[in-house]
Structure 1
């Protein structure tokens, strides 16, 4: 009787995991299709790829696509218990570690761009030029690579030669050999969290002051910028909570495997997929210029107000 219950429980768990994996595949596929459409729209007009806020928007789209594609591969490898060589797992880890930070750092940069546009309009053209945008993207990737470099440096200093020759079930925890390494990674994440929160609060406070002093069309534009910053703050909060998820999941794993599966699934949907679905909404739908260009492409040119009329 105990064996039958065990089998039934195991089948129930396997069926539930199957349903979860299938749902993730559907969500990721839908997300990638939407982002591909938005990226296509971005490259349709020179105005988009010569304006800083759209360049940074495209950077988040590309970052999110690569991040979700790689996390999905990692999910499938883990689910089917495929073992791979360490060097391949290392490549996956580098990409995931880098682009875990690229999106929140880019969101912070987009918030600063809105701050400059609203609070320093006379210097916006100078500070947010196309050349400045490219430099900003380089700085974003450099800052985002620091946590990965630190974690891997500690790993290479700690791992034995035998470890490099093993085939492993790849996960982001593979390169954490000791508990203190996890604490170092957590400390770095919390430091980034603090800096980004200070930036968001500072920008929001300054834009709020300008919004109170503005009038007419300026007031309307400023309030829209304020709402954009709030959406960035919410999106950034979800992205940054993601940095704390490994700590929560490890604590749960020590007590209950079934709960661990559910918590990890919830974290992936809420703190990986959800914040990356907000980017298309913030600039793909709320931005009037980009929305009309997108609508023109979706309707295959049947939309009366063509993108050329918007510039």
Structure 2
């Protein structure tokens, strides 16, 4: 029979002095607040102009902003709770973990949909208005959430099948890894996630090749638009790569904690910064700052607010 996985939370809470990591927690708070502030400005700018909330790529961009902001808030709350050793009942942690698992997948799946939108806009411009209408985009958002919920359902199903009823009433430090009770559950989760990212990687490469062919054959303004779309696809691919690396982090952390608890804390902190926060700060860069229309609207919104305050 497969042996249960070790409870990493109890080891860390029992052997590591929490006071030592105050500086790291403060750095995370600064980064999270900064990203949330930028995301809030972008979201408010999105809702101020009709051309944004009626255009497919901007609607999908807003979905990534909202999902990233939600993940930042929840993961930061869990970080603080774990840092100070606060425990909650397992059933409550299961609900929180379900939300985290869902919206951690929403962003990469939405990025894939945004890549397909760029492919349609550049390679099939005559059908873009039909395929990427506001109505179609709303249906796409429902499909995105449906696809993103499958890994979450798989993880929760394996947990419900393995956990005893008494476990739900226990108080523990809340992490998503708490849902993994046995090694085979970890393998199932990894297989599902890697299958998803394989499909998304194929879509990214397919769109890249098609857009590159159009870019080489285009001329003038069309050529400029095509190469800009190509750079956007490359950035989406880089974001997906960071998200994929994040899936491997639990395996690295599990191996490290067997040998050195202090090293485990440092590795987990680095993974959270590089593969948890970094991919979620790229979305504002790709569409919020690189997009000329959106960036001009953002500047007008920010300066108008400051001007009114001075008056």
TM-score by length of structure 2 reads 0.91
Q: Distance in 1 between matches of 2:31 and 2:181?
A: 33
Aligned residue in 1 for 2:190? 186
Q: Distance in 2 between matches of 1:39 and 1:188?
A: 32
CA contact (8 A) 2:47 2:53 kept: yes
Report how far residue 302 of structure 1 moved.
Answer: 8.2
CA contact (8 A) 2:91 2:169 kept: no
Q: Distance in 2 between matches of 1:103 and 1:302?
A: 32
Corresponding residue SS for 2:200: helix
Aligned residue in 1 for 2:163? 159
Q: Which runs of 4+ in 1 moved over 2 A?
A: 12-16
Aligned residue in 1 for 2:71? 67
- Which residue of the other structure, out of 164, 169, 172, is the alignment partner of 2:173? 169
Q: Distance in 2 between matches of 1:25 and 1:258?
A: 21
Q: Per-residue displacement from partner, 1:190-239 (whole Å, max 9, x unpaired)?
A: 11111111010000000000011101111011011111111111111112
CA contact (8 A) 1:147 1:188 kept: yes
Corresponding residue SS for 2:304: coil
Q: Distance in 1 between matches of 2:217 and 2:200?
A: 26
CA contact (8 A) 2:18 2:84 kept: no
Corresponding residue SS for 1:82: coil
For structure 1, the 5+ residue unaligned runs are 1-11, 304-311
For structure 2, the 5+ residue unaligned runs are 1-15
Report how far residue 241 of structure 1 moved.
Answer: 1.3
CA contact (8 A) 1:242 1:272 kept: yes
Q: What is the number of equivalent residue pairs in this alignment?
A: 294
Report how far residue 139 of structure 1 moved.
Answer: 0.6
Deviates more, 1:23-32 or 1:240-249: 240-249
Q: Distance in 2 between matches of 1:293 and 1:247?
A: 43
2:279 equivalent to 1:281:
no
Aligned residue in 2 for 1:49? 53
Report how far residue 14 of structure 1 moved.
Answer: 4.8
Aligned residue in 2 for 1:268? 272
Q: Distance in 2 between matches of 1:195 and 1:245?
A: 21
Aligned residue in 2 for 1:111? 115
Q: Which has the higher contact order (CA 8 A, sep 6+)?
A: 2
Aligned residue in 2 for 1:37? 41
Aligned residue in 1 for 2:11? none
Q: Distance in 2 between matches of 1:302 and 1:212?
A: 44
Report how far residue 87 of structure 1 moved.
Answer: 2.1
Q: Distance in 2 between matches of 1:264 and 1:132?
A: 40
